[in-house]
Structures are given as C-alpha cells and as structure tokens.
Chain A
C-alpha cells in the first residue's frame, strides 16, 4: 500500500524520532553566576534533587544508594542519605546510575574562519576550540543521547590544529559550558593537500621546525626583554607565542605506524603527549608501550566484508579480513597490556545506534566491563585534567550522571533513560512510546465483540487481525495512524481510518476513528500482552562476530606472508658446501666452494673448508651464491608520499620519517634476492629530501629496516621534472622553469647555508638564541661532507653543470642517478669520484632521455665511474640480477663485473661497502642462493639471507602460501556464517536496507589510495597497499621519481 518512497520516509521518520525527541531538556538553561543581563523572565528552577533507590555504579562496584544533587554538584551519596526538605524527589527504583560519561575526542567544525598568523596556513597553534568550535543543539542532543556529559573538543583540519577545550554538554551559553579552554595542542601529520607540506615526511618536518621555532621564540623574546638594547626582538608571532612546549600535546595517529613517528617527535622535544588512536593499536603493542602514553580509541570496527561474489571477494586482502575479525578484540588486548585507554565515539557514522553496541561487543570480546566504565569516566577525566570534578559519583563532583534501564555494558536491551549534566536532567522519551508491539484489545466500536489485534515487533507496523490477515500502519506526528478494512467493524467495504495517541502511563491507545460509512467514533485499545522481542535478542551485532578469534598478533606485518618467528638465531654457525660463489671481491668467482658464516657475519670462503664443531652444514652443490643485491634507487616502503614536491628546496624532509615495513614489495623483492635498498625522495624539486638506506628486514618495525651506519644522503634533481616540464599548463610559475634556474637556486641555497653558518657561530659566541633552520642545517651537512648527494640527472649539460657546482662548493656527490647521458661526460663524473646509478636500458619515455643508450653503464664504467643499475620501480627491483646481465649484452662487460653493478658498486656508492656488497670475511652475511647462473633469465632465487638470518626461502614461502589460503578460507567462512546468522544484514534484495546502509556506521579507516591529484606532487598511499609500483609517471607526465 506504500510506495517505496513512503516506506523509506517512514523508516527515516521512525529512526529519526528518537533523536528528535531524545533528551529534550526538561528545564530551560539555568544560569551559573554570570554577568550577562537576563532578557525576559528568569529561569530559577529548583537545583536541589534527590535520586532515591537507584543502583549507583562505579569502578568500586554497584551500590544501591540515594544521591542528593545541589546546585549542579553531587551533595552526598549513600544508602542512608535521605532527601533534604524541598528537594525534588526522583524515584530511581530499578534504574542504574553511572557517572556522566566523558567523550575524549569530539571533532567540531569551526564556527568562524580563523585567520592564522603563521606563514604556513596549516600551522594554527593560536587557534582555540574554546571560542571557535560550534556546539549546536543537535550535537549536544546527540552526545547526551550516548550518555556523555562532558566532551573534549578538538578543532578540525590542519597540522597544528590549535588548542582543544573541554565543555559541559549542557545548554546555555559558552560560559555555562566551558570547563577548560586550553587542554592541549592538537597535532596531526595529515597535510590535507594544498601547498607545503604535501607528504607525511613534509608534515613531520614542519612539526619539527615549528616546535623548534617556538622554543627559540620564547628564548629570544626573554633575552630581548632582559636586555632590549643588545638582543634584537624576534618578529612578533602570535602562533609561536601561543605554542608552549611544556603544554600537553594531543597527537592524531592516523595509521598503525604513526606511533613510531610520534615517538620520534616526542623524544626530540620531550613532549607530554596523549594519542588519539585508529583501531589498529592491537598490532603495535610494543610500540605503544614504548610510547608510554594514554590512548584515545575509536570504536570503528569494520563492517561485514562484502564477499557475496567470490570473484569480487578476491580483492579483499588477508589483512583486511583479519582486521574485521580482530578489531573488536583490540580494546581488550590493549587494555590488558597495561596501556591506559579511553573510548571515543569519534568516526562512527550513526553513533547513537552504534556506540553502545560497540562498547558491548568490546566487552563480549574480553574487555573488563569495569575497565570499560573507567575508559568512559575516570580515565578520560584524568588525562583531561578534570578528575577532581568529573568521572565519578562522589560528593563534590559535578552532578553529571547517566540513568539507565539495564546494564549498559552487558545488556543489549539496556537503554539510557536520562543524562544529567551540571545538575540539569535531560530525559529521554517524552515522545509516545514507539514500541506498540503486543496484543491489543480494541473497544469503542459499539456492541461488536471485543476485537483483538496483534502487532508484531518490527520497524514497519503491521497489524494482524485474524488468520493471515493484516493491515499496516504508520507513525505520524506522534500519532499512530491505521487504516483497517471496514469489514472488521461490520461494514461492507472500504477502509476505516483510525488515529491514536499512546498513553505511556496506562499503556493504552485512544483516539478518533472514521469508518467507511463516515461514522465517527472514539476508540480505545488496551495492551493485554507484550510480545517478547525475539528479533532483537538475535540482533546483537550483525556485522561483527562475538566469538573471540584464536589469534595472536605477534607477527608483523598483518596479512599475507607475515613472519611469525624469524627462523634462525643469529648465533647459528652455518657452512654452505659446494656452491659456485660470486664474491664480487678479489676472490672472483669460486667454483665448488664453501661459505662459512657465524653470528651474522661471513667467516671464510674457499674450497673444502674444514667443518668446525657445532656448525650446521648445508649442501649447496649445484647452486650459485652471490652477495645480497643492492638497489641504489628505490621508492618502496615509503608511506604517504615520496615527494615533497611543493617547494623547490625541501632538504629538511626525511624519508626515514615515513618508512613503511608493511609494504609487500619488501617480501617480493627479497624473493628476487634484494637485501639492501636506497630509499630516495622523488624528483619533483631541485633539492628534495633526505634518503634512507634500508635492509629488507621483512617483519620488523620501521626502525628495524634502517641500515645502521649508512652514510646519510639527500636527493637532488635536475631537468624536466624539477622545472615541471610535463606537469601540465598550470605549473609554469614555480622557480625554476629552466635548467639555468636550477643551477641558480642550488647556488643560492648553498650560499644561504654558508651565511647561516656564520650567523650561527656568531650567535653561539655571543650566547644569543639562534633560530635553528632544519632546511639549512641539512644543507650544511652536505657542505661538510656528512651528507652525500644523489642527483637525479639525465642530460650531459646538466650533469656537467652539477659537477662544476660540486667542485665549486666542495660537496660530495655519491651518485648521479639515472644519468642516462652519463656516457657523454663520464670523464667529468669520474673527475669528482661520483658514482653513476643508471637504468640498464630505459629510454625515450620523455624528451630528455631520447639519447639514452643501454651501453651507458659499460661506457661510464670503462672511463672509471663506479657504476650500478637501479630499479626505481617496485617490480624491476624483484629481478636486478637480470638487469645486471644487460651489461654483458650491451658493452661487453664481463659477467663478474656485471654482477658488481648490483652488488659491490652500489654499496660503494652508498658508502656501505665495508659491510655489504661482496662476500668477504668480516662482512655481513647478506647473500642469495640461486638455483642456477645468477645472470640467467631462467634462474630464480631459492634463499635470501640478511646478517645470517634467512628472510626468504622457497620452502617457507610454500608454507606461507598455504597459511594465507587457509586463513582466507577460515575468515571467509566466518563472514558467511555471520551473514547467515543475520540474514537481515543482507542488503541485496531489500531496497529499504539500502537506504539504511547509507546511514549506518561503516568503519572509517585511514587509507591513502594511490590517487593522482592535479598537482602531481601529492601521490600518496597508506599502509597495506597491493604493492603495485607508484610508477604511473615514468613518462614524466607527473613528477614521480625518474
């Protein structure tokens, strides 16, 4: 009888009603002592209340007690407390009373535009949530609906987002609500695009610089005020002035690796921090323990994976399925590991519906309900510094309470009945009871025998009036409207129209009815029996399984090919027998030779080595062993942006700040024999960022990837990319636009750094505060030879220009990268002892590489340049041995020398050749076992070892594959059984569900998909991506890396 739209409208209406009527303020705002004149009649409601006979809940346990509230505070709590004379008495029999809950993270829109005072628009430490955040009526009602009486409000957007504030969620003006106007400074590494910074590493660099600036500003200002005549006043800055390093800092962790990044900043500036988490905490317990701070946890558990179509289900990674299963257990796991957490409703799409559901799931999954209570009360009260006033039900605290029917933490049927804020009660359900299910006796239709109607539970109201007969009804404007067939009332045809309002006291319906004959009468209905809500009992949670998964997240990273325990101990001594060993050293290629390793180092290589006692022997006859391969140009394992391509000079950014050990490329490249990689900043600007040399220690955390002792480096770039030649017609203004300008901006920066050094020395001599400039400090490191340059270059003119620049300023060039016309000026490259790290045979993807030739490496090498092949591509990095073979093909390089192009030569270029790159006694036991000739296209890697630990092994790989398949099957089955249990969740054939799905909560997770934005410098991706190379831009259409 209703069209689709009508049904939708009804559902919407029914679903909105609770919100519309929810927590209607019983009393209008009652003022605290204020200075504003009152307009109109004063509201002086009684502020003395006695809540009698309820169960008072606290972390100390349940207690049946009375509570007296006076003037917005708890006056007394106790079993024997009696209601004071004149108090309004509330019967709390059968109800539970909780301390008002505290929302530790409420992100709000800013009511007014903020005019920042910092040069960078994303730095707004002087912004204040207390004055700018908008807490409208709807928001207040929503928060109170979940039982919150206090919220910690946080400004949206920005890196330094500003100061957060604490509000009482009562109505009234700001003054009535505000508890604390400066809780802490909110920090987010998400850059939000639009100018510097455009990458994670850029954000971190900006945070570092800004914190340092603030420190300097305060010192410089103090020095100036002490001796105004000798110390110049720093330029006034409201932003820096309001940024106090001693204050509390609230960091937003957007993914599971942000904890490490936060730790770096925390240590460097000795900050007092709180972290707002992301739901992946359970994977990083050790990092969190090291971080040692309170964590605000969202309850953004993922919804049921969509695996109906098995072909589409292929696109779910194991990691996602695991997260679906495990995330609800996260709070339990985190809390039992001695970490303090508090819960937030932040990020839930329909929090009113989902927040408590999810709390109860977390409880079912093992978090102690008492702890969960603390996570909503005493813990947030403490971290927000209001534990003296909030978070418990004892005398003296704010009269913030939550009244419920049923235990909110355990009982799925429990409901919040009222939330009191500051002594003001906000009651629920002034609207008619919506649940009219049950058996009703109808009267008022004359002498007809009493009619019995049955209304089953459900969102759509259906009235059954006989065997298999039913008609429907709807709520409109708080009334129940029915149109039963007139036959029921003895008339022949047509429908009657009845409307009724519900009397919640008497549990009766009564109203006017018009029969089809036009006869009008009053009718009454009395509920004779409620129908037990069967469906609701089953509902629980349809998206998330209740059973605790039998899983431990001891392995890292999550998902496929995760390594549980590293297979071998470092101390193990092993002798590999009878292999062809390519040493890439003086020993050359030794046939039928043995390799002895101990404690992760190479002991000896030779024929028929004696087998020392206690040494494990491995037969490697017929195999080839080479040094672990080294890729001198990689962009793998970098999170959220490889380019800080906004400014022309961004030497302050560090690839090392954004390492991503979850990148599956690491495992795939190990499977190709790669053990070391030089992670470089992209080539979008002339002076890019600091590099990070890593070892491919798959399974470690970010720090575990670093190649300790590698020479620090930096990426510079020349040519088409930095002058934005292929970025489109809009990118024509950034300096430089020509190769002429590229030289000049580099020269300018080096000179600026030298002059900065003079200022710095002078300031130190005079004991005067000096502003540390991270950008120029990094340039100084380059000038001092502490940091070597890896210069992206193609054409001979620019290569020569850079050679001359290096000679002029005396810095060290580690490598010319790509250097595809290196063969034209190899003598100049050799002159400054720089390396050449090139592609084996790439060319013609843009104009500046049209003269590239595959003989480049051979020619450079012959002229005396230390030459290597690099990948610049996640896929190519899986087969660097084949790249090496191309040096044999093009230019007659010997096989032994060709292998050096991917072993000892890149090691020399990166200044790590004392440790890796060749097989020699004393060096790291980084090597690869091949099933055949390493330069043969038909060969493949059998094992890859790093420091005596096996990181890839064909047999283990087979086991891991099987585990992946089994794990996927198990999880998919679990999803299916969850779905069968809750067919309602299946939205396939139900249009109305579709609408609902739009509004129901779906987990939000931070995920940066590889997207190409207008400005090509913002290609970023988050964790657990599919490993595809970001190389969409080799053509130079967009700035990437070559």
Chain B
C-alpha cells in the first residue's frame, strides 16, 4: 500500500498534486494459456461452451468443449479452469478524457484543453498518465481500451488516441494514433428564436460569431491544403507549420474527423462540410442522429452515441428519446457504437460503459447488439477491428472473465487480459475498501 502523494503548498496557496497508482503491469506470459470450460462469447458469432487458447498475446484458437478430446497440460501449455465462467472481449470506451485529467476541479491535473481554437497538432497520447488512479478503476469493470480525446473551447481540439489500460508508459499503452481529429461543431443560434428585441440583438451577434467561427474552420482546411500543396511541390521557401502538417492524415483520407455534435441542424452542417472537404467523418454525441438517418446512411457516416443515459434535449420529446436513438440507428442499418458522455467530469466513471448499452437494450436494442455496441462496433468505427472487439483467432488476447453478462450491474468481473497479459484487478478503491474493512474488524463492528 504505497500511495505517492506529494503535496506542494506554495505560499500563494496554490496546490499541485502528483497522482500515481501502484498497480504493477505484469510481464508477458510465455507459452500457451488455455481458458477452458467457460461460456465463450466471441460477439462476432454465437456463444458456446469451450476453450480459448492464447499465445504470444494473440488468440490462437477457440474451440467447442469436446469431452473426447481433453486438453493436455504440459510445460508450454497451462490450463486455467473457467468452469461456470463467461469470457467476453474487453470493452472499448470510444469517447473519454481518461489519462488527460485526474481531478477536473484541480487545475494542475487538467491536460485536456489546449488554448486557441485550431489545435490539429496536439496529440492525446503524450499526456496520458499511465499511473492515473482512474485507469485501474476503469479496467476493473471490463473496460480495457479507451479513446482519449482532447477537449476544446473552440473548434479543432486535436488528435485522439486509442489507449490500452495497461503498460509502463504511454508509448506502450498507445494502440492507435491518430484515431481521429476531433472537432467541436458550434451550435448555430437562431435569431428568429428571440422573444424580444434585446434577445434578438444578442442572438444575431451570437449567430454572426458562429458564422465567423465556421468560416475559420473552413479556412483552416483550405490553408492546410494549400500548405501541403506548397510542401509537396518542394517549395523551399515554405516553412514548417505544425498545424497543417498534422492535418495531412485527415486531408488524405486516412484519418477521419470526429465531429462532436448533437442537434439535427448541426449534424446536417457537419456532414455537408465533410462531403465538401472530401474527408471522412464520424459523428460523436449524436442525440439527434435518429432524425438524420437517411443522410447518415447515404454517406455511410458512423455515429458514436455519447451517451445513452441522458435526458431528452427538448422538453417535448419522449422521455426515452436518448435510449431509443441507438435502437433506431440499428434498425435502419446506420453504423453506431455506444459510449459515455465523455466530458472531463465523466472520466472517473467510464467504468459504467456497459450500462449505457444495457439501457438501450431495455428500450428495444437486441441484447447481442447492445454487447456489440461496446465491443465490436467501437473497434470497427475506430479502425482496430483487426485486433480488437471480438474473440476470434488471430485477434489480440484481450478479454474479461465474468460471472455472467457484463452489461448487468450485478455481474462480477473476475479477471482481464490485455494482449495476453493478465491485469491486476485491484485499484485505489479496492485498497481503501480493504483498509477500512480492517478498521471495523479491529473495532469488532461490521
């Protein structure tokens, strides 16, 4: 039990705190591990009772249980009995601020918002703190990968990275970077909505400001293009511009823009923008996405629903509007996945990802779709389904062992493996729990 709290009390009263978890990443196991007797939920196909072989961090083989062919343990094959247990792929939170902040209210621990409103060049992974206490808490509930997303007060927030919640350094943790360039689409005010002359004036000003912002956004894409063109033709006078360099992937089509947007009007605008700019787009947020189904289908735009557990945006809307949103997208065949709200204050609570999906299931999403929406679908949308998202031969050995359906709160998650490495499921909270259980044992209470 070592907690490294370093308190710097500077004479101004300024408080800076270093936070660190003391979970030790485990070494890479050697040989073959066989998880046998478990109900295996590959997600990409039907569940069955069987065994899963892992080797070199990959899933080597999954097979149905066959009493005639018992698996033999030897020097290089170790069997882990999982009778009565369930094995699922690890879950992926596809919109989070994890790693970028520890405690939102403590300024010194906030690393999610860079100043300025055009920041295509900032990268999330370099500030992910592997010792953040939030990470072991998150993974202990089966969320093994998170998309760490820079935030913004302006337009282009930066590049997100997919992080595995295990590793000594951020480099080891980084699975993919850049996943996307994140854009905050501003809400466009409607001056016609004003209730009096004074409001109208204010709304008009706000409208003009937003229009200018959107012009700036468009202009930044144009400038990036012009810059890259100048560099391409070997214009020696063209000096380096980090911002536009960072947009290379977006403009070449290898990196999508992830547009954080909720209302129908802005969703339309954002999709139109992506088409005009000839860039790939992913919608994040998307509470009105069900209203834009034909548009999203036509242009094959995926939606990261963030979150399901929320209130309708408008007073008159059905109470279950946010829950039914993924149901409608799924029925219409729009690509989607589900995640939490993803604000900095939600970072400590990203472990509740599975319950976002379950809520949609309570309101009509088929259970297997709900499961996919936090495993396979985010892997596909984030472009890592060759390695993650389902239990298939050749994919990463990244999975959880549970008492049952991880989308039920009452289910317990026993173990987790990321790339074949076993995960320490303890965390700050379990340690405090154990500590204070002892207090009452000492006092003969509880």
A contact set with B: CB distance below 8 Å: 302, 306, 308-309, 311-312, 314-315, 317-319, 349, 559-560, 664-665, 667-668, 671, 720, 725-726, 823-824, 826-827, 841-847, 850-855, 859, 862-864, 874-875, 878-879, 882, 885-886, 888-889, 891, 895, 935-940, 957, 961, 964, 968, 997-999, 1002-1005, 1007, 1024-1029, 1034-1037
**B309 on the A face (CB < 8 A):** yes
Within the complex, which residue of B313, B316, B320 is in contact with A560, where a contact is CB–CB below 8 Å? B316
Q: A844-B347, A879-B309, A1026-B315 are known; give 6 further A-B pairs, CB within 8 A.
A: A314-B264, A315-B314, A668-B311, A862-B445, A874-B311, A997-B200
| Total A-B contacts with CB atoms under 8 angstroms apart | 203
28 A–B pairs (Cβ distance < 8 Å), ordered by A: A308-B192, A311-B268, A314-B288, A314-B291, A319-B316, A560-B316, A668-B311, A668-B312, A671-B320, A823-B436, A824-B436, A827-B440, A841-B352, A842-B349, A843-B348, A844-B103, A845-B104, A847-B17, A859-B433, A863-B446, A882-B409, A937-B358, A938-B408, A939-B362, A957-B318, A998-B201, A1026-B311, A1037-B104
Shortest Cβ gap from A918 to chain B (Å): 22
Q: For residue B189, which residue of chain A has the nearest CB?
A: A312
Q: Is the CB of B195 within 8 A of A1003?
A: yes
Q: Is the CB of A937 within 8 A of B407?
A: yes
Q: Give B384 Cβ to nearest chain A Cβ, in Å.
A: 26
Does the CB pair B359–A1036 fall under 8 Å? no
What is the distance, in angstroms, from B309's C-beta to the closest C-beta of chain A? 7
Interface flag for B1 (CB, 8 Å): no
- Are the CB atoms of A886 and B409 closer together than 8 Å? yes
| Cross-interface CB contact of A1002 among B196, B354, B358, B432, cutoff 8 Å | B196
**A935 engages B410 (CB within 8 Å):** yes
Q: Which residue of B lies closest to A312 (CB)?
A: B190
Contact residue among B315, B319, B440 (Cβ-Cβ distance under 8 Å from A319)? B315
A823 to B320, CA, bound (A): 35
Query: Whole-angstrom distance between the alpha carbons of A1002 and B199 in the complex?
Result: 10
Q: Are B194 and A859 in contact (CB under 8 A)?
A: no
Contact B409 A889 (CB under 8 A): yes
Residues of B within 8 A of A885 (CB): 408-410
Known: A309-B265, A664-B315. A302 touches B429 (CB 8 A): no
Determine whether the beta carbon of B358 is less than 8 Å from that of A938. Answer: yes
Q: A842-B348, A886-B409, A937-B362 are in contact. Are A671 and B311 (CB under 8 A)?
A: no
Return chain B residues, CB-CB under 8 Å to A895. 410
CB distance from B373 to the nearest CB of A (A): 13
Known A-B contacts A309-B265, A882-B355, A938-B362; the reply to A863 vs B445 at CB < 8 A is: yes
Which residue of A349, A846, A1004 contacts B105 across the interface (Cβ within 8 Å)?
A: A846
Return the contact of B311 from the options A315, A935, A1028 (Cβ within 8 A).
A1028
Selected contact of A306 from candidates B193, B349, B352, B410, CB within 8 Å: B193
A937 in complex: contacting residue of B310, B319, B320, B409, CB < 8 Å: B409
B296 at the interface (CB under 8 A from A): no
Q: How far is the CB of B126 from chain A (nearest CB, A)?
A: 22
Please tell me if B231 contacts chain A, counting CB pairs below 8 Å.
no
How far apart sit A230 and B310, CA to CA, in the bound complex (Å)?
65
In the complex, chain B residues whose CB is within 8 Å of the CB of A315: 190, 193, 263, 314
Contact B195–A302 (Cβ < 8 Å): yes
- The 4 A-B pairs with the shortest beta carbon distances in the complex, nearest first, are A306-B192, A937-B358, A846-B105, A844-B348
Question: Roughly how many angstroms separate A315 CA and B17 CA in the complex, as a whole number?
Answer: 43
Contact A859 B446, beta carbon cutoff 8 Å: yes
Residue of A nearest to B313 (CB): A1026
Task: Check A875 against B311 for contact (C-beta < 8 Å).
Answer: yes
A855 to B428, CA, bound (A): 12
With a cutoff of 8 Å between Cβ atoms, the chain B residues found around residue A961 in the complex are 318
**Chain A residues in 8 Å Cβ range of B239:** none
B residues less than 8 Å from A309 (CB atoms) = 190, 265
The residues of B that contact A317 with a CB separation of less than 8 Å are 314-316
User: Cβ of A855 and Cβ of B264 under 8 Å apart?
Assistant: no
Residue of B nearest to A796 (CB): B436
Q: Does B225 contact A (CB under 8 A)?
A: no
Please indicate the chain B residues that have their CB under 8 angstroms from the CB of A997 in the complex.
Answer: 200
Complex contacts, B190 vs chain A, CB 8 Å: 306, 309, 312, 315
Most A-side CB within 10 Å, residue of B309, B313, B352, B429: B429
CB-CB contacts of B431-442 with A at 8 A, as 1s and 0s?
011001101100
Asked whether B197 lies within 8 Å of A855 as measured between CB atoms, the reply is: no
Closest Cβ–Cβ distance, residue B328 to chain A (whole Å): 15
**How far in angstroms is the closest Cβ of chain A from B433?**
4
Residues of chain A within 8 A (CB-CB) of B440 are 826-827, 859, 862-863
CB <8 Å contact, A311 and B265:
yes
Residue of A nearest to B367 (CB): A938
B412 touches A889 (CB 8 A): yes
Q: How many residues of B contact A (CB 8 A)?
A: 71
Residues on A with C-beta less than 8 A from B194 are 1002
Q: Which of A311, A559, A874, A891 contacts B316 (CB 8 A)?
A: A559
Q: Which residue on chain A has the smallest CB distance to residue B19?
A: A850
One digit per residue, 1 when the CB lies within 8 angstroms of any chain A CB and 0 when it does not, for chain B 306-332 equals 000111111111111000000000000
Return the chain A residue nearest B13 by Cβ: A732
Interface residues of B in 321-380 (CB under 8 A from A): 344-345, 347-349, 351-352, 354-355, 358-359, 361-363, 367
C-alpha spacing A609/B135, complex, angstroms: 53
What residues of chain A lie closer than 8 Å to B363, measured between beta carbons?
940
Closest to B101 in A: A844
Residues of the B chain whose Cβ atoms lie less than 8 Å from the Cβ of A842: 348-349
Is residue B133 within 8 Å, beta carbon to beta carbon, of the partner chain?
yes
Closest to A671 in B: B319
Task: Determine how close the nearest CB of chain B comes to the CB of A282; give it in whole angstroms.
Answer: 18
The contact string, 1 if C-beta is below 8 Å from chain A, for chain B 8-25, is: 000000010101000000
A292 to chain B, nearest CB (A): 31
B319 to chain A, nearest CB (A): 5
- Tell me the chain B residues, 184-240 only, with Cβ under 8 Å from chain A: 190, 192-197, 199-201
Distance between Cα atoms of A1026 and B263 in the complex (Å): 14
Instruction: Assess the A999–B319 pair: CB atoms within 8 A.
Output: no
A864 proximity list for chain B (CB < 8 A): 445
The CA-CA distance from A845 to B110 in the complex, in Å, is 11
User: Which of B19, B105, B311 has a CB less than 8 Å from the CB of A1035?
Assistant: B105
Interface readout for B414-438 with A: 1 if CB under 8 Å, 0 if not?
0000000000000011101100110
- Given known A-B contacts A862-B440, A939-B362, A1034-B345, A1003 and B196 have beta carbons under 8 A apart: yes
Residues of B within 8 A of A312 (CB): 190, 192-193, 265
Which residues of B have CB within 8 Å of A888? 409-410
Instruction: Name the residue on A nearest B317 (C-beta).
Output: A560
A1037-B429 CB under 8 A given contacts A827-B443, A862-B446, A938-B367:
no
B83 at the binding interface (Cβ < 8 Å): no
Q: Which residues of B contact A879 (CB under 8 A)?
A: 309, 359
Is B275 on the interface with A (CB-CB < 8 A)?
no
Q: Does B125 contact A (CB under 8 A)?
A: no
Residues in A with CB closer than 8 Å to B134 are: 844
Whole-angstrom distance from the CB of B268 to the nearest CB of chain A?
Answer: 7
Choice from A308, A314, A853, A939 contacting B314 with Cβ under 8 Å: A314
Q: Which residues of B contact A1037 (CB under 8 A)?
A: 104-105
Residues of chain A lying within 8 A (CB to CB) of residue B410: 885, 888-889, 895, 935-936
State A1026–B321 Cα separation when bound (angstroms): 13
Q: Is the CB of B105 within 8 A of A667?
A: no
Q: Say yes or no: A853 contacts B433, CB within 8 Å.
A: yes
Residues of chain B within 8 A (CB-CB) of A318 are 315-316
Are B104 and A1035 in contact (CB-based, < 8 A)? yes
Q: Give the Cβ gap from A970 to chain B, nearest Cβ, in Å.
A: 14
- What is the CA–CA distance of A889 and B141 in the complex, to the nearest angstrom? 10
Closest approach, in angstroms, between the C-beta of A419 and any C-beta of chain B?
A: 26
Complex: A311 Cα to B190 Cα, angstroms: 11
Nearest CB on B from A578, distance (A): 22
- Complex-state Cα separation, A566 to B193, whole angstroms: 34
**Nearest B residue to A844 by beta-carbon distance?**
B348
User: B166 at interface (Cβ–Cβ under 8 A)?
Assistant: no
Please give, as numbers and ranges, the residues of chain B lying within 8 Å of A720 by CB-CB distance: 105
Residues in B whose Cβ lies below 8 Å from that of A937: 354-355, 358-359, 361-362, 407-409
